[in-house]
Amino acid sequence: MTALKALLSPVTHSRASIPRNGFPSLFKLFTTSHPKSMSKDSDRARLRDFIHGKCKSGKIDLDEALYFFDYMIHMQPTPPISCFSILFNALLKNNHSADVISLQKRLNSAGLVLDLISLNILINCFSNTSRVCDDFVVFGAILRRGFNPSVVTFCSLIKGLCMEGRIMEATRLVKKMVTFGCRPDVVTYGTLIHGLCRTGHTIVALQLHEQMVNGNGKVGDICKPNVVWYNSIIDGLCKDGFTDKAKELFSEMKGNGIPVNAVTYNCLIHGLCCVGDWEEAKSLYIEMLNQGVQPTTVTFSVLLDELCKNGKMNEANKLYKLMIRRGVQPNTYTYNILMDGYCLVGRIHDAKKLFVSMEKKGVYA
């Protein structure tokens, strides 16, 4: 058995997300017989446009990806593995991790050997589908085949461990990276910090952050926190009710020249609303506008929720109209907040009108 077959054997009996029946008719045609147009220049041109255009821009859908995967696997000569990697990466970014795992199995069956980039993508997919044991099977194959694991490899492994709540193992893995010739960078620590925050270890994440900011030898000099890093901790602090500390971190972030984005404001506004500090939440929203940061559906929904819970439906209605004027589209959650608010104050007719308006706009509960 080859190293690659050994690598993928744990996946053999897993449930693929691609349905056995009910493929799109066009894709089914290509999986049951070799398309006659395989060698046509026009089809090859379409493939180039798909791989180097749509895949790299991320604008693909699953049916189209399956079509071109089957096209490539039947081509003679077979395209380089890098073409498959580009397709797999696009699918990964579009939340089709389980489909990538299934397609990688087909590559294995066709005798194609994965390179380090493809193996890193596979690790990321296993992490996204909570299959960390399979992650480390792939990691073992990387080492056996003489590849040097990269920071990308370790970040995916750390993410997978964090998603399963295995924080101590994730922390140990960060420390072990240097033994493989990899130095943890801002993305590595950001991944660990995000994992700590989402599993309720925000204070530990904050301590790690402070070590980095205050300097921790060479590592501290390299790992300057970025916006994603700050957002993870601010969000965690707000969810744990430590809004004062979150505000301190927000000020530190701005003082360090880290650009504040809509996610930062949304986390803090939501945290302030949760502790009933409406005036400060509103003040932060105004600051957001003054700084030229575009409010999102989440921003408006959080503010509307606070107004509606307190029965301030006239203010909520004004804010809703402002949302529409600014071109921010309400979603189902936004409409539900408003309808609940109207019902809370006995304005059932207004709730019904909003429901009809929602359906006309193609938003369904």
The pLDDT value given to residue 312: 96
The pLDDT value given to residue 46: 80
The rounded distance, in Å, linking the Cα atoms of 93 and 59 is 10
The pLDDT value given to residue 20: 35
The rounded distance, in Å, linking the Cα atoms of 244 and 121 is 39
Closest CA to 263 of 286, 241, 288: 288
The pLDDT value given to residue 247: 96
Q: Is 97 among the domain residues?
A: yes
The pLDDT value given to residue 28: 40
Q: Catalogue the long-range contacts made by 211-216 (C-beta closer than 8 Å, 24 or more residues apart).
A: 213/252, 213/256
**What is the CA 154 to chain-centroid distance, rounded?**
17
Q: Is 349 among the domain residues?
A: no
Q: Is 98 among the domain residues?
A: yes
98-125 burial code (b ≥16 CB/10 A, e <16): bbbbbbbbebbeeebebebbbbbbbbbb
206 burial (CB, 10 Å; 0-12 / 13-18 / 19+) is buried
| DSSP, residue by residue, 166-235 | -HHHHHHHHHHGGGGT----HHHHHHHHHHHHHTT-HHHHHHHHHHHHH-BHHHHHH----HHHHHHHHH
Domain with 93, as residue range(s), is 1-14+25-114
Closest CA to 75 of 98, 103, 47, 55: 47
Q: Is 41 among the domain residues?
A: yes
Residue 55 carries which side chain, given as an amino acid letter?
C
The pLDDT value given to residue 8: 36
List, for the chain, all residue ranges whose pLDDT scores fall below the cut of 70. 1-42, 215-222, 364-365
The pLDDT value given to residue 87: 92
The pLDDT value given to residue 93: 92
- How many domains does the chain fold into? 1
pLDDT digits (tens, 9 = 90+) for 253-281: 999 899 999 999 999 999 999 999 999 99
Number of H helices, E strands in the chain: 22, 0
Angle at 56 between CA 50 and CA 57, to 5 degrees: 95
Q: Is 106 among the domain residues?
A: yes
Q: Is 361 among the domain residues?
A: no
Q: How many CB atoms lie within 10 A of CB 313?
A: 19
Residue 113 in tokens = 């050997």
Q: Is 255 among the domain residues?
A: no
The rounded distance, in Å, linking the Cα atoms of 189 and 25 is 45
Q: Is 319 among the domain residues?
A: no
How far apart, in Å, are the Cα atoms of 141 and each of 4, 9, 84, 162, 307? 7, 12, 19, 22, 55
The rounded distance, in Å, linking the Cα atoms of 218 and 213 is 12
Residue 334 in tokens = 């936004």
